[in-house]
Copies of this chain bind each other. A is one copy, B any other.
Amino acid sequence: MNKNLKVVVIGGGSSYTPELIEGFIKRYDELKITELHLVDIEEGKEKLDIIYNLSKRMIEKAKLPIKIFQTLDRKSAIKDADFIMTQIRVGGLDARVLDERIPLSHGIIGQETNGAGGMFKALRTIPVILDIVEDVKKYAKKDAWLINFTNPAGIVTEAIYRYTDFDRAVGLCNVPVNMKNQFAKIFDVDEKRVEMDIVGLNHHFFVTDIFVDGKSSIKELLDKYISGELQETPSMKNIESLQWSKSLIKSLKAIPNPYLNYYFMTKEQLQKQKEQFKENDVRAEAVKEIEKDLFREYSNPNLHEKPKRLEERGGAYYSDAACSLVNSIVNNKKDIQYVNVLNRGSIIDFPYDSVIEVASIITSDGPKPMNYGKIPYKLNGTLQTIKTFERMVCEAAVKGDKDLAVAALTLNPLVDSDSVANEVFEEMYKAHKKYLPQFK
């Protein structure tokens, strides 16, 4: 695999791509990419062009022999590829605005990867990703890997493993690595000295232990929150992070993923979102503004590196995590990374054939999950609810089953009534119809 390493980035015109390029440049000593193909669709041509040119300038500045290409022809780009990275956004940010605003107009949380918004993002994305998987199976090298960081990354990876026979896909998210880095700061040690035990799913896991130089330090960490020494649990750019109560932290003996804010602080999150809704400033709308600025900056022919500003975008470390994953697979590094892969009993209470987000040893044969065992009982209800929702959404997306999509919403904790589920589905379906060909 080491010779002529060909990497394809689908959704190459994404604003995140410069971080990816930076990541590959940084690792070139170990990870000698020969060809890098940026692929996008007709609607994204203009952005792709900007990104391609910036990437080219970055590589030139680094004086590396990486050949870079841009194309709208996905199949030919995938031909003989070693790695296919997917970072697409079906319907673009305009669709995300709808994902956030329509639920809010019905009095429920509007969010990109959770609740009704998350479901519709999945319904639009899954058919496209399954098409890409077909291309990978047909055209890429036999031992090629698909690295998906398109959201909702967990649901998308579940769909690949449940509805195709392709078994070389890894879903990736930046939340675990961000949490780890924030914990490292708390303990004032280098990030490399920290590992975590996590249990759960993409955007829905709990940190149940933290190791500093291999020593379990969760009690020390929890005590900092319980005693009030630390005022804030780890958070993400795109989440209004509220503080969990001491009773919750003390009882769960775990740090929840920041996205669980939407579930355990629904009332307050909803109130904040309703204000943003009124001011036309929901997260998607804010991001549209940031993106506009970013692409203006990217277009500057004197820019030869990833601008600082990208970090505001919310996906910091996403692309870097992806480069790191590719590097460990290529070089059989056997380091620990947190990825979305098939459970296969790693967490005993989840279905054997479902996808989980789990600490894994990264080898040239792919990620090998470490064993976690049983879910601590207090965390089980929340996690099983999300997995049920994920599976229903996958099935609805693949079969084009509207009733099932409605039922998934009814059972989702962010939706407060079966009737609301029916209404929201109807309105969102109409709004996104163009991207939902699987539903008759």
Q: Are A365 and B403 in contact (CB under 8 A)?
A: no
The stretch from A69-77, A173-181, A373-381, A428-436 touching chain B is: A373-381
- Known contacts A378-B388, A382-B388: does B265 contact A419 (CB below 8 Å)? yes
Is there a chain B Cβ closer than 8 Å to A418's Cβ? yes
A20 vs B117: C-alpha distance in the bound complex, in angstroms? 52
Is there a chain B Cβ closer than 8 Å to A384's Cβ? yes
Q: Are A371 and B374 in contact (CB under 8 A)?
A: no
Which A404-425 residues have C-beta < 8 A from chain B?
A: 404, 406-408, 410-411, 413, 416-422
- From B264, B401, B417, A418 is in contact (CB under 8 Å) with B264
Is there a chain B Cβ closer than 8 Å to A163's Cβ? no
25 inter-chain pairs at a CB distance below 8 angstroms, sorted by A residue, are A211-B365, A214-B332, A214-B364, A215-B364, A245-B421, A247-B410, A248-B407, A251-B401, A251-B406, A252-B407, A264-B411, A267-B419, A268-B417, A334-B336, A345-B372, A345-B373, A346-B373, A349-B349, A368-B371, A369-B371, A378-B392, A381-B384, A381-B411, A384-B385, A413-B413
Is there a chain B Cβ closer than 8 Å to A47's Cβ? no
- Apart from the given pairs A247-B422, A371-B371, 19 other A-B contacts in the complex at a CB distance below 8 Å: A214-B334, A247-B403, A247-B406, A247-B407, A250-B407, A264-B418, A266-B416, A267-B419, A336-B361, A345-B372, A346-B373, A351-B377, A352-B374, A377-B392, A378-B411, A379-B388, A380-B384, A381-B385, A381-B387
A387 vs B369: C-alpha distance in the bound complex, in angstroms? 25
Is there a chain B Cβ closer than 8 Å to A34's Cβ? no
Is there a chain B Cβ closer than 8 Å to A402's Cβ? yes
B contact residues around A46 at 8 Å (CB): none
Q: Are B381 and A267 in contact (CB under 8 A)?
A: no
B contact residues around A264 at 8 Å (CB): 410-411, 417-418
B contact residues around A137 at 8 Å (CB): none
Q: Which residues of A contact B (CB under 8 A)?
A: 107, 195, 211, 213-216, 244-248, 250-252, 264-268, 332, 334-336, 344-346, 348-349, 351-352, 361, 363-365, 368-374, 377-382, 384-389, 391-392, 401-404, 406-408, 410-411, 413, 416-422
B contact residues around A417 at 8 Å (CB): 264-268
B contact residues around A336 at 8 Å (CB): 334, 361
B contact residues around A373 at 8 Å (CB): 344-346, 352
Chain B residue with Cβ nearest A392: B378
B contact residues around A365 at 8 Å (CB): 211, 214-216
